[in-house]
Amino acid sequence: MNIPNKIELANIPTPIQAIFFEGFEILIKRDDYTGIEWTGNKIRKLEYLIFDALQKKADVLITCGGVQSNHARATAAVASRLGLKSILYLRGKEPKTYDGNLALDKLFGAEIRFVTQEEYDNIQEIVEKEIASLKKKGLKAVFIPEGGSSALGIWGYIECAQELSKQLKSFKNKPSHIITAVGSGGTLAGLVLGKKLYGLKSNLIGVNVLKTSGDFEKIVYELANECSKKYRLGVKVNTKDFTILDGYSKEGYENISKDKLELLAFIAQDYGLLLDPVYTGKAFFGMVDYFVYQGNEFNKLMFIHTGGIFGVFPKIKKYLDTLENSVF
């Protein structure tokens, strides 16, 4: 097995906390506490990707995502921490006011380029041109893929699976299911590989916040097997090694339905736990709906809180309106 090197940026291991929800104990793996200005799950992947970029003598990190991309903001934060420049290609129109992650991108000194969906579909080509033009100016730019989800980036979650496997040794009652949000597939792909390598017993469940379960079965399968091949891990992943729970993002990636907002406001009020509207909120809702309310079988649940906190702020009025309409 060829384990790639990484630069240490994250506060890990992250703690595991328990909450009691509708009479069930739910463990929360606090990957929102990983550090570098609340980067959530992204910093684990960036530890590997940025080591590689530094080996390549990068002056500039280029990445891409949606206008409120957590990954783009995390990359900008880390770049400024390391004295590098960052360029972010964000899919969507420039809004009149910058808030949430976008405002932070600016604060961290990133150069922001807004692109249409059509341009985004050809992002590789656009980025290659940018890299070539920076080269003429004597600057080395390295591209980090969307969500940091590549055969290298997913090492962050292979390592997280190892961390979990060690942490759970002291738990008498281990989680039967571990649940995470799925956006570009890297977090789940890393966990799936790490489960095989480090003997994690729990079933792995991803809640997709965009696309379909079929899309992510393919993406996670391909990412995990590409990584296994590239780093000679000697394991083969198949689509039965994980489950994607579909149907929890019908309102669309950037939106959140009223019933989900009500749950998130309740969780904030009763547990002091903040979940974002794009990723963790939808995944947490999916988890409690599928297991607790629909009664599908489980012994104990673990939710990976992957961060995304700044996504709360562009929608904060909606969160507060939910409280105003609450009967409590």
**8 A C-beta contact, residue 73 and residue 61:** no
Binding of residue 101 to ligand PLP (CB under 6 A) = no
Q: Does 314 bind ligand PLP (CB under 6 A)?
A: no
**184 scored as a contact of ligand PLP (CB under 6 A):** yes
Instruction: Write phi, then psi, for 121 (nearest 5 degrees).
Output: -65, -20
Q: Does 156 bind ligand PLP (CB under 6 A)?
A: no
Is 69 annotated in the active site?
yes
- CB atoms < 10 A from the CB of 289, how many? 18
Count of other CB atoms within 10 angstroms of residue 210: 17
Q: Which of 69, 149, 184, 228 is catalytic?
A: 69
Nearer Cβ to ligand PLP, position 175 or 190? 190
Mutual orientation of helices 70-81 and 100-107 as an angle, nearest 10°?
A: 20
Stretch that binds ligand PLP, among 3-11, 85-93, 175-183, 287-295 (CB under 6 A): 175-183
Rg (CA), the chain: 19
**Of residues 25-64, which lie at the interface with ligand PLP (CB under 6 A)?**
40-41
> Binder to ligand PLP among 66, 145, 147, 314 (CB under 6 A)?
147
Q: Which stretch binds ligand PLP (CB under 6 A): 82-90, 164-172, 182-190, 314-322?
A: 182-190
Q: For residue 217, what are the β-bridge partners?
A: none
Closest CA relative to residue 253, chosen from 309, 208, 316: 208
Work out whether 70 is an interface residue with ligand PLP (CB under 6 A).
yes
| Beta bridge mates, 62 | 87, 143
**H/E element, 79:** helix 70-81
Q: Which of 10, 60, 178, 181 binds ligand PLP (CB under 6 A)?
A: 181
Can you give the binding site for ligand PLP, defined by CB under 6 A? 40-41, 70-71, 147, 149, 181-187, 276, 279-280, 306-308
